[in-house]
Structure 1
Amino acid sequence: MIPVIESIGIVGAGQMGCGIAHVSALAGYKVQIYDVSQDRIETALATINGNLARQVSGGKLTDESRTAALSLISGSADVNDLAPMDLVIEAATEDESVKRRIYAQVCPVLKPDAMLATNTSSLSITRLASATDRPERFMGIHFMNPVPVMKLVELVRGIATGEPTFSAAKQYVAKLDKTATVAEDFPAFIVNRILLPMINEAIYTLYEGVGSVEAIDTAMKLGANHPMGPLQLADFIGLDTCLSIMQVLYDGLADSKYRPCPLLVKYVEAGWLGRKSGRGFYDYRGETPVPTR
């Protein structure tokens, strides 16, 4: 029997957690956001409110829908508030040790039949599932960033994921008015297996002096009809996340073509992580972004 999902718990009040809460509430689900910091909860609720208001002003949403969605979202720094949730989605940083610590904390408070999912963009679902008390009710539900805009969700089963869990996840994604694509449990799945090596190659192109930041991004926008250049996109994703995914590909597939570019490593070591830190391949601290190379 397919589990009925009426409430969604979200672990992590960052950009992805906010986006998942936003689309889930708009689809009529009761949403509970959990984060260790109450300040981050308050910031997340304000961000979701602002994003919904922007959709209203853009004519994509009625004010009644915005108010109804906000009424369905709560936030808390108490993990026990996840206890009644039917599906809990972990949307923490792309670090396996962090995710494992979260599961050790969250699993004991969940209902026995609650489903648990991860929004990981690259890590093994089977391995993460083994760190939980419910591998048959665990799977990957990978949203694209920004969640309210992007239509695709990757669904990834671990070796132990049960058919009812997979069917319930498909129904949830359909109710969000998103398109699900099914990926096998291999490093970085489909989208990032293709996208991140392209970004890494763009960074190598910069590193080797083939072109400047501006030249590379202009070439791909106008020469390949990409909506944004690969270096601009890397800054949007976060260079630490790009490095993490490339490392997962390199370690998991043992192929030198996935070796992270040394320049990417250097930028991350400098704390130049892209938009979120104010500097990456572009400097965002002024009126308009300026290439840093």
Structure 2
Amino acid sequence: MTSKITIGVAGSGTMGTGIAIVAARAGFPTIIYDVDQARAENATAQMKAFFAKSVQRGKLTQDQVDEIMSRVKATGDIKAMAPCGLVIEAIFEELEVKGRLFTALDAICGPDTLFASNTSTLSITEIAAKSGRDDRFVGMHFCLPAQLMKLVEMSPGLNTSADSFERAWNICEEMGQRPVKTQDAPGFILNYFLVPFNNDAIRLVEEGVAEPAEIDKAIKEALGYAMGPMELLDLIGLDTQVMLCEALHGVMHEPRASCPPLLRRMVAARRLGRKTKRGFLSYDTAAIFGA
């Protein structure tokens, strides 16, 4: 059996941690990078907590978990990403910040290394243009929570080579995910619908139509959704939803994509969702979903 490439995940938040779980669980050596070493190490602690639940539920043995975690390295040193065959960026939705990250990675990684962005709203072509290797750059948008959801939106930029896209697609499938191809368009498939939909739910709360838990109950019971919009927003992080609104509204000018005032007030009050234990709903733990 051929050895698997090393997968780097740049960003150790909820999404980055979930992607690292997917990669390591599929047998890939995995490096989690964050500018803050403590945050990178916290991601590995979150991974261990997630897998501990898998052991409790009989889905994995402790020996299997130990083997998975032996493939994981957390680092605050970007130079540690040099051995990666694929680097997936999962930081916040700001084009310039992503661009600086990829510029730094381009100086470190080998010429065959593929770069991917987990962006949900920004242009793959625009991010790739700042990477120094726009022919070896793809969009890989994992669904939240990545460790439980299989779908990945795969998007080529205008200069992405066919070979690079095929390589990235094959790696995605090796990770046990189910890729779908989209064009480099605002919001791709999912967030084109989801950002305005979630904002509509926030506006129902804002206007006093219903309480968050009641909105979730209605959506799950009547539409068959596994998770209600308020639960999903708390999982995404309300601060992240603000950035998603700003990014999508900035290119589409769709009124429903504009940020609801209530959302900004909740972020100002540090009611960010699961990670602060309080958002539209309240939580006993800040652990990642499924842990």
**TM-score w.r.t. length of structure 1:** 0.90
Alignment partners' CA distance in 1, 2:17 and 2:284: 24
Cα separation, partners in 2 of 1:66 and 1:153, compared to 1, 3 Å: same
Shift of 1:255: 2.5
Equivalent pairs counted in the alignment come to 283
Q: Secondary structure at the match of 1:282?
A: coil
Shift of 1:198: 1.1
Alignment partners' CA distance in 2, 1:257 and 1:18: 30
Contact 1:5 1:168 in 2 (8 A): no
Shift of 1:227: 2.4
Pairing of 1:7-46 with structure 2 (within 5 A): 7-46=6-45
Shift of 1:263: 1.6
Q: Which amino acid aligns with 1:81?
A: A
Cα separation, partners in 2 of 1:32 and 1:193, compared to 1, 3 Å: same
Query: Which position in structure 1 is the counterpart of 2:150?
Result: 151
Shift of 1:5: 6.1
CA RMSD of aligned residues (A): 1.8
Query: Which position in structure 2 is the counterpart of 1:230?
Result: 229
Query: Which position in structure 1 is the counterpart of 2:65?
Result: 66
* Greater CA drift, 12-21 or 168-177: 12-21
Contact 1:10 1:90 in 2 (8 A): yes
Q: Secondary structure at the match of 2:176?
A: coil
Contact 1:216 1:229 in 2 (8 A): yes
Query: Which position in structure 1 is the counterpart of 2:242?
Result: 243
Question: What are the superposed Cα offsets for residues 176-198 of structure 1, whole Å, 9 maximum, x if unpaired?
Answer: 12111111111111111111211
* Greater CA drift, 126-135 or 71-80: 71-80
* Greater CA drift, 122-131 or 141-150: 141-150
Alignment partners' CA distance in 2, 1:214 and 1:31: 37
Query: Which position in structure 1 is the counterpart of 2:289?
Result: none
Q: Which amino acid aligns with 1:122?
A: T
Contact 1:140 1:157 in 2 (8 A): yes
Q: Secondary structure at the match of 1:223?
A: helix
Question: What are the superposed Cα offsets for residues 175-231 of structure 1, whole Å, 9 maximum, x if unpaired?
Answer: 112111111111111111111211111111122222222332222222222223212
Question: What are the superposed Cα offsets for residues 44-80 of structure 1, whole Å, 9 maximum, x if unpaired?
Answer: 2222122222212212223332222112111222111
Q: Secondary structure at the match of 1:19?
A: helix
Shift of 1:269: 2.7
Q: Percent identity?
A: 39
Give unpaired runs (5+ residues) of structure 2: 286-291
Q: Secondary structure at the match of 1:154?
A: strand
Shift of 1:28: 1.7
Contact 1:5 1:86 in 2 (8 A): no
Contact 2:200 2:256 in 1 (8 A): no
Q: Secondary structure at the match of 1:283?
A: coil
Q: Secondary structure at the match of 2:107?
A: helix
**TM-score w.r.t. length of structure 2:** 0.91
Contact 2:195 2:257 in 1 (8 A): no
Q: Are 2:56 and 1:57 aligned?
A: yes
Give unpaired runs (5+ residues) of structure 1: 287-293
